Structure 1
Amino acid sequence: MTVRHFLSLMDCSQAELIGLIKRGVELKSLHQQGVIYEPLKNRVLAMIFEKASTRTRVSFEAGMIQLGGQAIFLSPRDTQLGRGEPIEDSARVLSSMCDAVMIRTFAHQDLETFAQYSRVPVINGLSDDLHPCQLLADMQTYLEHRGSIQGKTVAWVGDGNNMCNTFIQAAIQFDFNLRVACPEGYEPDKAFLDQAGDRVTVTRDPLEAVAGAHLVNTDVWASMGQEDEAQARLKRFAPYQVTPAMLDHADESVLFMHCLPAHRGEEVNDQIMEDPRSVVWQQAENRLHAQKALVEFLLAD
């Protein structure tokens, strides 16, 4: 039997992705009703963190507990990976002891290598290229508030980073149009743009990207590993700060999202986080339920 991995949104069909976010809504409802649902009793998720996290760790760990399973947190200090053990060796050993492995790391190639040698599902908890689990939560949040995102216009304002790359894949898989506003030299990966074709447009003008948009997204201007570029980026990205006034150019039904943590006063101002059009807190909560749907999909009999 072929092992299913979730390294990118392209690892699932469109129907499977839509099913996952709808299942996330169902699991959220069960949780809110206090219904005990434990299809993953005696299942173990290993969680390898080479990058720090709040939401990814808590959502996967709490999710596994709520589904009746367990999660093991492994930092670079806790494993031989941090001391130079080959990835393929760690993959063989960990996948013989655990039922799935979630990895939050830098190089996407490391995820692919681990998955190649793993005999259990591997989940991308974030890489420098992609963050697919976050997009499941984002799409679930939009579905809950506005229904289907198919045919809608989505704006990305800021750095063409791993989140932006993943929104490009989401535009393909969930059938929406994406406008990316970023400074020259900070575009998303060309390979992802080529894959999306004319479904995605890149502009230098954030107001052009936001005009009439149904969903507006941003992220920090300097991601983990780019701290030495932070000051230079502050100057280049200053015109791209998302504010309530910028959202006024969007569709009247617009939602604002940010994957968090937010650097208030940089990519967003304080007012936007509490704006009635903002759904950042619901978006964060939905990491829990969307990932429960994902783990159930990969592991439940």
Structure 2
Amino acid sequence: MAFNLKGRHLLTLADYTPKEIEYLIDSAIEFKRLKNAGVFPKNLQNKNIALIFEKPSTRTRCAFVVAAIDEGAHPEYLGKNDIQIGKKESIADTAKVLGRMFDGIQFRGFHHETVEELAAHAGVPVWNGLTDSYHPTQILADFMTVKEEFGHLRGIRFAYVGDGRNNMANSLMIGAAKLGMDFRIVAPASLYPEAAVQERCQAFAAASGASITLTDKVDEGVADADVIYTDVWASMGEEDQIPARIALLKPYQVNAKMMEQTGNPNCIFLHCLPSFHDDRTQLAQTYPDILEVTDEVFSGPASRVFDEAENRMHTIKAVMVATLA
């Protein structure tokens, strides 16, 4: 079933119905099939896409650029030093100018209020490529990967382990609550999501039949899990907190023992990337205990992290086509 999403923003998956989210995922699976077959429908011919990046990115930038070009659109990268947003020109004025020139706007940055203000004034679809609060395009790729693996999303036992109050934990909980999953956040109680986010997700869960569990006990949280998911222990801009986070989160490192604790030989591992899983980065050399996942798991047979990374491109293509074409 097709849904008319033309003109819609994507700021958080909380704004989309379960059927709309599944439609975007299924569309992405079809776009992946078409691309692998060498078929490019060019649904976005003559469209122009503005890509605003306050925060640098590998996957988000490349996924938007390749997806846009595949579909016939022109993407324009606007880094933090390329435009005057919030410095010499207000967010609202920037949105109005870009909305007159571009057909869609992606924003990746810090404050969620910025992408909300862009959406309020642009007059064209605005997509959240990441803010401090939410990362909806990543969750679409995550759930696409899960559906490719298991064939369904409802009832999937999904354990997010580590820093439970960041944008990934918030967004995964929203998506899982919408789609009827058995979702667990496994984290120290001091790093649970904000109460308001929890309450909102419990309401979504009541409507979908999902369950949401927050626990600081690893064995309880990962039991029977189909998916183990983690993220870095200190997000961009939190580097000064790394030593404290290591001390707090070391018991939550994803390793072979944790994967065994699931009791599920078919459990897969996911990560939004980038990841500290070996000593080949500057920060890992400075802080050897920063590894939120061991390389044994990250590079092992349960890992689907690079399928997941590729799926950013297909899901972003689905979002752009659905809201623009």
TM-score after normalising by structure 2 = 0.90
1:90 aligns with 2:100: no
Other-structure match for 2:268: 255
Alignment of 1:123-202 (within 5 A): 123-160=127-164, 161-197=166-202, 199-202=211-214
Secondary structure class of the residue paired with 2:235: coil
Letter in 2 for 1:30: L
Mapped to 2, the partners of 1:149 and 1:36 lie a distance apart of 28
Alignment of 1:289-300 (within 5 A): 289-300=314-325
1:220 aligns with 2:232: yes
- Identity across aligned pairs (percent)? 40
In the alignment, is the contact (CA less than 8 A) between 2:255 and 2:297 conserved in 1? yes
Letter in 2 for 1:273: F
RMSD of equivalent CA atoms: 1.4
Letter in 2 for 1:126: L
User: Is there any run of 5+ residues in structure 1 with no aligned partner, and where?
Assistant: none
Given candidates 299, 314, 317, the residue that maps to 1:274 is 299
Other-structure match for 2:308: 283
1:264 aligns with 2:277: yes
The CA deviation at 1:76 is 1.0
1:210 aligns with 2:222: yes
Could you give the per-residue CA deviations for residues 235-284 of structure 1, whole angstroms, max 9, x where no partner exists? Answer: 11111100122111222221110000001151001111111111001000
In the alignment, is the contact (CA less than 8 A) between 1:159 and 1:188 conserved in 2? no
Could you give the per-residue CA deviations for residues 107-127 of structure 1, whole angstroms, max 9, x where no partner exists? Answer: 111111111111000000000
Could you give the per-residue CA deviations for residues 132-164 of structure 1, whole angstroms, max 9, x where no partner exists? Answer: 000000111111111112012110100021000
Could you give the per-residue CA deviations for residues 199-255 of structure 1, whole angstroms, max 9, x where no partner exists? Answer: 211111222211101111000000011111111111111111001221112222211
In the alignment, is the contact (CA less than 8 A) between 2:189 and 2:215 conserved in 1? no
Secondary structure class of the residue paired with 1:77: coil
1:32 aligns with 2:45: no
The CA deviation at 1:175 is 0.9
Secondary structure class of the residue paired with 1:78: coil
Mapped to 1, the partners of 2:259 and 2:177 lie a distance apart of 24
Other-structure match for 1:9: 13
- Spell out structure 1 runs of 4+ moving beyond 3 A: none
Mapped to 2, the partners of 1:2 and 1:153 lie a distance apart of 33
In the alignment, is the contact (CA less than 8 A) between 2:31 and 2:314 conserved in 1? yes
In the alignment, is the contact (CA less than 8 A) between 1:115 and 1:121 conserved in 2? yes
Could you give the per-residue CA deviations for residues 40-65 of structure 1, whole angstroms, max 9, x where no partner exists? Answer: 11101100000110000000001000
Mapped to 2, the partners of 1:221 and 1:175 lie a distance apart of 27
Greater shift in the superposed pair: 291-300 or 10-19? 10-19
Mapped to 2, the partners of 1:257 and 1:205 lie a distance apart of 20
TM-score after normalising by structure 1 = 0.97
The CA deviation at 1:2 is 8.4
Mapped to 1, the partners of 2:99 and 2:191 lie a distance apart of 37
Letter in 2 for 1:222: A
Could you give the per-residue CA deviations for residues 157-186 of structure 1, whole angstroms, max 9, x where no partner exists? Answer: 000210000011012211102111112311
> Across the two proteins, how many residue pairs are aligned to each other?
300
1:110 aligns with 2:118: no
Mapped to 1, the partners of 2:28 and 2:256 lie a distance apart of 29
The CA deviation at 1:4 is 1.0
User: Is there any run of 5+ residues in structure 2 with no aligned partner, and where?
Assistant: 206-210, 279-290
Given candidates 226, 236, 241, the residue that maps to 1:229 is 241
Mapped to 1, the partners of 2:77 and 2:6 lie a distance apart of 26
Given candidates 64, 68, 80, the residue that maps to 2:72 is 68
Other-structure match for 2:257: 245
In the alignment, is the contact (CA less than 8 A) between 1:218 and 1:267 conserved in 2? yes
In the alignment, is the contact (CA less than 8 A) between 2:51 and 2:76 conserved in 1? yes
